[in-house]
Structures are given as structure tokens and as C-alpha cells.
A and B are shown apart, each in its own frame.
Chain A
Amino acid sequence: MTRTRRTRLSLALSTLLFVAACGGGGAPSDEPDGPPPLAVDEELRALLPEEVRDAGTLTIATEPSYPPASSFAADGRTIIGFEPDLGAALGELLGVRIEFRAEGFDTVLDGLSEGDYDAVMSSMTDTPERRANADFVNYFRAGSAIVIARGNPLGIHDLGGLCGETVAVESGTLHVDVLARGQRNCGNQPIVVIESSSNDDALLELRTGRAGAVLTDYPPAVVASTDERTQAFFQLASDVQYEPGLYGIAVARDRAALRDALAGALTSLVRSGHYQHVLDDWDVGSGGVSVVTVNGGAV
């Protein structure tokens, strides 16, 4: 909530400053920390597919159980996080309205292929397997982390400690693969994997004792172990991020124009500092990228 409010405030302020700059002939900014004001970049807008420009709306799918990237606000309906904030900034540059839609993670690329929405922005790591179905505009870097019960009753400190334990993961994520690879070192004490429909459902397994650990991305792991509603139950096994990779905005392979427009707009945000500001606003500034790549993830 706090973060949301601060974001809205700074956005409101930047709008105000922008208006002041236009009307007053370039008054110096009083808020050096604020993101630079955004205006529609017609060159980038020109890159958009015509049907998108005509619709005026860009629909982006996300699985909102992944704070601080994307999650439901207190009303249970609004989706907030640095992904919606970045998406909104992209929309402002491109002159279209951005609409985030909640979807299940394990089928989200299928919906993209079928044209249910224009893009996916759901902490999805850019991997060769996924690139078979989509192009990725890389916008963040993060690895995996192990969330365990507060007090660490099972004594789990690293991936090796997961052998013989029940571990919950969100279905369709790379963590499923990480655990599969980890099984090789477990001998006759295999890891029991529970695949949940969302990250929150995986944490629910841990909270209720049906799982001994959750493997998830580092940012949501930090939130789960520090948020005041959940910190009493969760902690990190360690600060290590396993197998870091690049998040990417997934765009259908046949929509290169859209992909390039988004990449151009994101590059503009990175250059203008708006990008870093959004990440800092959600306390994930260290995961930012300095150069925007397309399909730049692991080979």
C-alpha cells in the first residue's frame, strides 16, 4: 500500500512538474529524485502495429501472486507492482492505455500464442525453451531463493538441504527445472515437489506445513519474509540467488513490430532514468538492467 501511494504521489508530482514546465517556460525541477516526465514519443508510437494504435489499448497478462513484481492490491482487483508501473510508463511513451490482466502462469504463453492478450509481463525468465513461442524484451535480472518456515525447523540452508523434503513451487516456473536438476544429488532421498497454481499457493503449502520449503524468485521471497503479515511465518534459507536469469516481456513471435516498439520504449525509460526510479520505488533497484536486450537470456 505504502509503495503504491508513494508511486502515485510521485507520478502526480511529475505530471504537475511537467505541466509547470510547459506553462512556465522551464522552471527548474524541485524534485531531483522524481522520474523525468513522460510524453508520447511519436517515433516509438509509429513502431506500434496499426491495430494496437487503433485499439488504443495494450493488454498485458500477469500472474499476480508475485510481489513486488505483480500482485493484487487490498481491493483484490487492482494489480500493482513494478511490472504494472513499468507497463504504465511504456504505455505513456507509446500513447496507449495499458491493461493488466490476471492469468495462470503455466498457461500464460498459450494465451499469448492464441492472441488473448498482447504481451506477458509476469516475472517470466527468458529461456531458450520459452523463446520457441515468444520473443522476450528483457527488463529485470533475478535468481531463485529458498523460503523456509521461520526458525528453520528443518535446518535447510541451501539447495542440497532440500533433499528428502517436500518443496512447493509454482507450476510452470523454472524452479520446477531447478528442483529436477537438484534431484540428481539427492540419491535415495529425493525431493518431493508440489506444483501449485500460483506463488501464493506454494507459500500456502509451506504455511500449512504441507511443504517444508518454497523455491521462488528472490524478490517475492524477500517480500514474503519481510512483509508484516507474513514475516512471522517465513524466512530466507540464505541470501544466495540461484541461477540468475533475465525477466522478459513476452511478445508473440509474429509481432516483431510490437516487440521493437516495447524494446525502444523500455530503452527510452532506462535512458531517461524513469526505469530506475520505478525499480527503486519497489526496493528492487539492484535487479535493474543497464541495456535493454531482446531475447538476451540464457542460451
Chain B
Amino acid sequence: MRWPGRARATGTRLFVVYAVASLVPVVALGALLADGIRQDARDRGLELGRAQAAVVGEMVVAPALQGSDLTSGLSTQEMARLQRATDLAIFRGSVERLRLRDFDGSVLFSDDGVATPEVVAGGRPRTAADRAAEAAEMAGSAAFRVAASGDAHVTILDGDSAGIQVFQPVVGDASGRSVGVLEVVLPYAAIAAEVEEAKSRTYWRLGAGLAVLHLVLAGISWSSTRRLRRQAAESAHAALHDSLTGLPNRELFRKKAESAIRRSGGCAVVLVDLDRFKEVNDTLGHHAGDRLLREVARRLAATVRSGDTVARLGGDEFGLLLPGIADPADALYLVQRVSEELSAGLVLEGVPLTPEASFGIALHPADGDTLEELLTHADAAMYEGKRGTSAVVVYDRALTGAPSHHLSIQHDLRLAIERDELRLEYQPQVDLRTGRTATVEALVRWQHPTRGLLPPIEFLPAAEHTALMGPLTEWVVSRAAADCAAWTAAGRDWVVAVNVSARNLHEPDFGGTVALLAGQAGLRPGQMQIEVTETALPVDPDAAAAALATLAAYGFGTALDDFGVGYASLSHLRSLQLTEVKIDRAFVAGVAEAGEDRAVVAALIQLAHGLGLAVCAEGVETVEAAVWLQQVGCDRAQGYYFSRPVPWTELAPDGHWSPDRPATDSRTKVMT
């Protein structure tokens, strides 16, 4: 479990708050208890003094007085009895001071024999007036008044003469009669020491107990904050990570990429799309698919640099964020290394596999200022990679054009389909043996409300690889089928050829869709030919092959367009369910004159025928080329020499070509 630093800091702060907050009541409790102990210790001292003084009063003083009421002072006998009764206790220090006073405050008996010193502070002999004043002062004191009214008054004398001072009434006899006030000072040192010891013992216990209590509280709060923190971290992690691979998800990728973009120094955004993942899922099961994804995730993460981010963006799509990379060559080098590491073989469910992926790279700041731009560009580069031979492609602006332009075109094109602004024009393919038009290829045009009639190059690249391709192709198929039905009804037996994109072939049951649309127009499958660009095949050759096979099974013609310039291997010709190949105009343009192109085209015709395929030459612009092609056995030809694309109603209904009687479309000739 990794905790983000901030979460750990927050957790620690939370714990400190808990610890301090719990310390407050603990310390308050401690202070309260300590105060209680102090008070108790003092009360014990006072109570002890009170009890001892009561014993002294009742067992020593009262018996010595024998019921005398002291109003007339002490008799000699009473004085002697008092002295005998108290001598030993005073001598041994059990009583530190003992004085008997009448209710006026005058001393009648004192432990040291003298009521008050004979001299006052200034050295002057003490007079009767002095004594009276002192007695009056005593009689007015709070302690004395308490004792005179029947209660004991106990105080603890601190300082050098530590003692417990008690003023209490002298109860003279059993009837409870009070005859005077007894002042006793009892030794306190021993009691104080004992009390002090008990106090410190209790403090230690209390302190230890409170410390343990606080430790327990702290432990509880520590464990609960840790649990909370872990839960928070887990849910934060779950919100930002993919559960299958443990990699950051699209959200975290976005955050990290945006922060990398904000920092200057550049960064590379790489989109990674696994090849043939669907096949693994379909044939080996989702479990194997998941294992493959985990393994890919592991390899990607293991190969990138430590500061890089690998994220699973969804399905079989991953994203790499390479901060600090601004140079295309650096990016290419890094990603190629990743690609190589990724494609090491592995065995999945007993099946040996080579994981391969297409990597599209977009660089900040060269390829965009926002993440959306970078992702769009990386996506475009990745699709370029899928079409081409290189698994790793760095975005090139020239590759796809301005993406913002694309977006607006996509939007407009969608509206165009709804508003029926698209048109189909048809270019004939002439059967070179008969000179008659055999097939007409439907080519889409856009009657743009402001820009006029737009050729496909103006809008198809924008729609390519987008979801728009589905409805667009469906519209073309269904309109072409309707047109074909119309010219069939007009007595023409032309087959209609429709171009579809690689993306169409990947749609589920594309063949069924075409068959349905053709059927709705009342067309037989044999009246329609589906043309696929050779460069569309490598994206997912297996899916394309399956789609072509389905179409062929329905009975539709299938042609490979632009043959010779793409990267498809010749094996495609053998493995795909095709009925025709169309040789790219790049070769055909040169056949009017003797040269290498003638050799290539002738060889291609031979090859196709050898595989049982018809051959159509594209881009025939001169009679010489047409004648040569006829001579080398090319089956069909198409080009401005015969006719440029026009609405079908403008095509010559029974056009017939021979070298002697050239094509009838004068406009074509003007064009050439």
C-alpha cells in the first residue's frame, strides 16, 4: 500500500489532534484527582488533630478540672492536677502546646508555666492592660469564637513550627457543659511526612495510571486514524486505478498528463492499442484475455523509466506518459524499446502468443497544448501505425491534417447525412474484351450548402476511423443499391461497385448489413461489388478476411482496391475471398509507354489471373494505355479516358468502346 504524502501528513495531523484532545481530559482528570488527594491529605491531618485534641480535652483536662466552671480562675489544686496530667505528654513532645483559656480569652493555664511572656516586644514589662488587650484580641479571633460556641477549630500551622493547632471547648462534665477554651498544638511533622508519602505514592500511581490510560487512548486513536487513513487511501487508489492491472486509470492518467503539460520541459503522450486482442478474448476466453492484459501491463510498467506513467485507458488500450521528452527521436527510441520488450513471446492457455501493439506518440508542446489534442493526435498516429508497417508512429501533422478541422467536418458530415446532402457519382469500368460497361464504381460527393460540391478527399479522411464511417457507408450502399435497381429497371445490366473502409470491415456482421440494404433495394448480391483498399487490411487482417469471406458467401463481388502501392503481402491475394484486384493508377499511368511499369502491370495481371482473379486497371487516361492493357489481357479498365465520375443518368446507356472507336465522353478528353 502506498500512501500519497499528503494523506500521510493529514493522518499524522489527525492523530496529533486526537492525542492532544485526549490529553486534555486526562490531564484535567489528573489535576482533579491530585487536588482531591491533596485535600484529602489535609482533611486527614485536620481530622487527626481534632480527634487527638478531643482525647486530650476529655481524658486529661476535664478530669483535672473536676467540674469546675473556671469563672473564678483555677484553684491551686486544679492547677496542680492539670500540671500532673499534662507534664509527661508535654515533656515527651506528644503535645507541643497546651493552653486553657476562659471565655474572655485570658490564659488560665499554659504548658510552659507562664501565661504570656513578662516583657513585650519593645523590652517594656508586660502590664495588666497588655494582657487584657491580648485576651480581648484572642477572644475576638475566629478560631476562638468557634470553640466558644461549641465546635472545634483546627488549622495546620505551616513553616518552621509545623503543627496542628486546635481550639476546642472544654467540656467540664457529663452534662456537656462548656467551661472554657482549650488551645492545643499537636506535632504535625510525623503526620505531614506520612501524608506527604501517601500523597507522593498516590501521585505516582495516578500518574502511571493516567499515562497508561493515555497510552491506551492514543493507541486506539492511532489505530483508528490509521484504519481511516488506509480506507481513504484505498478508496482514493481504487478511484484512480484499474482494478484488473493495478495501473492508473484514465482519470489518473489525465491528471498526471495535465500536470506534466503544465510543467514546462515537454512530455510525450503515447497511446498503445493491442493487436488481435479481440481474437484472444474470443478464442481463449476472457480469463486469458485478462491474463494477457495483466502481462502487457506488467511489461509496459517494467520497461518505461521510473518517472513515467503507464495507465490502462480502457479495453485493450493503454497510455504512456513520458515526462521530459520533447524530441520525436527520443520518444521513438524509448517507445520502440517498450514495443520490443512487449513483443516477447508468452504462452497463454497453452497457446504461444506474441503480444503486439500499435503505439501512437504525440509530443507536447509540438503536437498540442491540451491533453485532448495530444490524445487525438496520438490516436491518429496509432491508427496510422495500424495501417502501416511500423508499430510505433510519431504524430505528423501532415499525416491527418488539422484535427479541429476534422471535428467540424465530422459534425457537418453527420448533418449532411441527415439532410441528404450527399450525392453518388459513378465511373464506369469497361470490359476490354467487349468494350461494354460492365461495372460502375460509386463515388461519394458532398453537395455542401456553402462550399459547393466537395470531392471525397475533402471529407472522407475526417470520417475515416470514426464512428461516422458506419452510417456513411450504409448510406452509400443503400443509395448505390437504389440507383442500381433504377438502372436495372431502365434495362442496364451494370454491376455497382461500392468502396468500404477498414473500419467497416471490423463492424460486427458487416456482410449481413450490406446484404440487408441490397435486399431492401431489390438487388441480387451478384449486382454489387464491395471494394476494399489494400492499405485498410493490415489494421486487423483477420477481421477483414472474415468480413470479406462473409460478403463473398452472400454472393457479393469483392475487389482489392489500389493494389500494388500498399503494404499487403501477396499472400493476401491467396488468403482473402476476392473476385477482383484493381491495379493502382500509379502503375497504370506509365503503361502508355514501354518501360518498367508495363513489366509490373503485366506481371500483376499474370499473377491475378493465375490466382483466378479478374483484373481492373485504374487511372486509364489514354487510348494507348487502354490498347496496351487490352493486349496484355487486362479484364477491365477504368479512368478518365473512358469517363470521369458522373451521375448515373449521365452515363452512356449502351457505351461501347474499341480502340478504333474511342470513348464517347468528350468531357473526359477535355480533362485529360
Whether the Cβ atoms of B174 and A198 lie closer than 8 Å is yes
Closest chain-B Cβ to A203's Cβ sits at a distance in Å of: 7
Whether the Cβ atoms of A76 and B174 lie closer than 8 Å is no
Closest chain-A Cβ to B672's Cβ sits at a distance in Å of: 136
Closest chain-A Cβ to B167's Cβ sits at a distance in Å of: 14
Whether the Cβ atoms of B175 and A64 lie closer than 8 Å is yes
Residues of A within 8 A of B389 (CB): none
User: Interface code B156-179, partner A: CB below 8 Å = 1, 0 otherwise?
Assistant: 000000000000010101111111
From A76, A197, A204, give the contact of B171 (CB < 8 A): A76
Within 8 A of B (CB), among A190-207: 197-201, 203-204
Whether the Cβ atoms of B174 and A71 lie closer than 8 Å is no
Closest chain-A Cβ to B282's Cβ sits at a distance in Å of: 101
From B174, B178, B179, give the contact of A65 (CB < 8 A): B174
Residues of B within 8 A of A65 (CB): 174-175
Whether the Cβ atoms of B178 and A75 lie closer than 8 Å is yes
> B314 within 8 Å of A by Cβ?
no
Residue of B nearest to A76 (CB): B178
From A72, A199, A203, A204, give the contact of B177 (CB < 8 A): A72
Residue of B nearest to A77 (CB): B178
Residues of A within 8 A of B67 (CB): 197
Interface bracket on A: 10 to 19
Beyond A75-B178, A77-B178, whether A200 also contacts B173 by CB under 8 A is yes
> B235 within 8 Å of A by Cβ?
no
Closest chain-A Cβ to B166's Cβ sits at a distance in Å of: 16
Residues of B within 8 A of A201 (CB): 173-175
Closest chain-A Cβ to B596's Cβ sits at a distance in Å of: 138
Whether the Cβ atoms of A72 and B176 lie closer than 8 Å is yes
Residue of B nearest to A196 (CB): B174
> A284 within 8 Å of B by Cβ?
no
Within 8 A of B (CB), among A70-118: 71-77, 102
> B141 within 8 Å of A by Cβ?
no
Whether the Cβ atoms of A64 and B177 lie closer than 8 Å is yes
Beyond A75-B169, A76-B169, whether A200 also contacts B175 by CB under 8 A is yes
Residue of B nearest to A204 (CB): B174
Closest chain-B Cβ to A101's Cβ sits at a distance in Å of: 11
Closest chain-A Cβ to B242's Cβ sits at a distance in Å of: 85
Q: How far is the CA of A197 from the CA of B69 in the complex (A)?
A: 14
Residues of B within 8 A of A72 (CB): 175-178
Q: How far is the CA of A150 from the CA of B156 in the complex (A)?
A: 40
From B149, B169, B174, B178, give the contact of A200 (CB < 8 A): B174
Within 8 A of A (CB), among B160-209: 169, 171, 173-179
Residues of B within 8 A of A199 (CB): 175
Closest chain-A Cβ to B183's Cβ sits at a distance in Å of: 16
Q: How far is the CA of A199 from the CA of B175 in the complex (A)?
A: 8
Residues of B within 8 A of A73 (CB): 150
Residues of A within 8 A of B149 (CB): 75
Whether the Cβ atoms of B174 and A74 lie closer than 8 Å is no
Closest chain-A Cβ to B175's Cβ sits at a distance in Å of: 4
Residue of A nearest to B171 (CB): A76
Q: How far is the CA of A76 from the CA of B148 in the complex (A)?
A: 9
Residues of B within 8 A of A71 (CB): 175-176
Closest chain-B Cβ to A223's Cβ sits at a distance in Å of: 13
Residue of B nearest to A72 (CB): B176
Closest chain-B Cβ to A264's Cβ sits at a distance in Å of: 32
Residues of A within 8 A of B177 (CB): 64, 72, 76-77, 102
From A74, A75, A198, give the contact of B173 (CB < 8 A): A198
Query: Which of B67, B176, B178 counts the most A-chain CB atoms under 10 A from its CB?
Result: B176
Q: How far is the CA of A204 from the CA of B175 in the complex (A)?
A: 10
Whether the Cβ atoms of A203 and B174 lie closer than 8 Å is yes
Q: How far is the CA of A76 from the CA of B174 in the complex (A)?
A: 11
Within 8 A of B (CB), among A143-169: none
Q: How far is the CA of A73 from the CA of B149 in the complex (A)?
A: 10
Residues of B within 8 A of A102 (CB): 177
Q: How far is the CA of A199 from the CA of B173 in the complex (A)?
A: 11
Closest chain-A Cβ to B54's Cβ sits at a distance in Å of: 13
Closest chain-B Cβ to A81's Cβ sits at a distance in Å of: 12
Query: Which of B67, B148, B178 counts the most A-chain CB atoms under 10 A from its CB?
Result: B178
Q: How far is the CA of A283 from the CA of B567 in the complex (A)?
A: 130
Closest chain-B Cβ to A178's Cβ sits at a distance in Å of: 22
Residue of A nearest to B150 (CB): A75
Residues of A within 8 A of B178 (CB): 72, 75-77
Query: Which of B151, B173, B174 counts the most A-chain CB atoms under 10 A from its CB?
Result: B174
Closest chain-A Cβ to B208's Cβ sits at a distance in Å of: 44
Q: How far is the CA of A73 from the CA of B148 in the complex (A)?
A: 12
Residue of B nearest to A199 (CB): B175
Closest chain-A Cβ to B62's Cβ sits at a distance in Å of: 11
Q: How far is the CA of A186 from the CA of B179 in the complex (A)?
A: 42
Q: How far is the CA of A71 from the CA of B67 in the complex (A)?
A: 16
Q: How far is the CA of A203 from the CA of B173 in the complex (A)?
A: 12
Residues of B within 8 A of A204 (CB): 174
Within 8 A of B (CB), among A29-79: 64-65, 71-77
Residue of B nearest to A74 (CB): B150
Q: How far is the CA of A76 from the CA of B170 in the complex (A)?
A: 9
Q: How far is the CA of A198 from the CA of B67 in the complex (A)?
A: 11
Closest chain-B Cβ to A286's Cβ sits at a distance in Å of: 25
Query: Which of B171, B177, B178 counts the most A-chain CB atoms under 10 A from its CB?
Result: B177
Within 8 A of B (CB), among A172-231: 197-201, 203-204
Whether the Cβ atoms of B150 and A77 lie closer than 8 Å is yes
Residues of A within 8 A of B175 (CB): 64-65, 71-72, 198-201
Residue of B nearest to A65 (CB): B175
Q: How far is the CA of A102 from the CA of B178 in the complex (A)?
A: 12
Residues of B within 8 A of A203 (CB): 174
Q: How far is the CA of A1 from the CA of B150 in the complex (A)?
A: 13
Closest chain-B Cβ to A160's Cβ sits at a distance in Å of: 28
Q: How far is the CA of A72 from the CA of B149 in the complex (A)?
A: 12
Residues of A within 8 A of B179 (CB): 76
Q: How far is the CA of A93 from the CA of B277 in the complex (A)?
A: 124
Closest chain-B Cβ to A123's Cβ sits at a distance in Å of: 13
Closest chain-B Cβ to A168's Cβ sits at a distance in Å of: 11
Q: How far is the CA of A74 from the CA of B177 in the complex (A)?
A: 9
Q: How far is the CA of A11 from the CA of B177 in the complex (A)?
A: 25
Within 8 A of A (CB), among B134-152: 148-151
Q: How far is the CA of A203 from the CA of B176 in the complex (A)?
A: 13
Closest chain-A Cβ to B5's Cβ sits at a distance in Å of: 74
Q: How far is the CA of A204 from the CA of B173 in the complex (A)?
A: 10
Residues of B within 8 A of A197 (CB): 67, 173
Residue of A nearest to B170 (CB): A76
Residues of B within 8 A of A198 (CB): 173-175
Q: How far is the CA of A72 from the CA of B174 in the complex (A)?
A: 10
Q: How far is the CA of A75 from the CA of B148 in the complex (A)?
A: 7
Q: How far is the CA of A77 from the CA of B150 in the complex (A)?
A: 8
Residue of A nearest to B179 (CB): A76
Closest chain-B Cβ to A8's Cβ sits at a distance in Å of: 16
Closest chain-A Cβ to B84's Cβ sits at a distance in Å of: 23
Residues of B within 8 A of A200 (CB): 173-176
Q: How far is the CA of A87 from the CA of B179 in the complex (A)?
A: 24
Within 8 A of B (CB), among A257-283: none
Q: How far is the CA of A71 from the CA of B171 in the complex (A)?
A: 14
Residue of A nearest to B67 (CB): A197
Q: How far is the CA of A71 from the CA of B177 in the complex (A)?
A: 9
Q: How far is the CA of A200 from the CA of B179 in the complex (A)?
A: 16
User: Interface code B39-78, partner A: CB below 8 Å = 1, 0 otherwise?
Assistant: 0000000000000000000000000000100000000000
Sample (18) of A-B pairs whose CB atoms are under 8 Å apart: A64-B175, A65-B174, A71-B176, A72-B175, A74-B150, A74-B176, A76-B171, A76-B178, A77-B150, A77-B178, A197-B173, A198-B173, A200-B173, A200-B174, A200-B176, A201-B173, A201-B175, A203-B174
User: What 7 A-B pairs have minimum CB-CB distances, sorted nearest first?
Assistant: A76-B178, A75-B150, A200-B174, A65-B175, A200-B175, A72-B176, A204-B174
Other A-B pairs beyond A74-B151, A76-B177, A200-B173, 10, CB < 8 Å: A72-B176, A75-B148, A75-B149, A76-B150, A77-B150, A77-B177, A102-B177, A197-B67, A198-B175, A203-B174
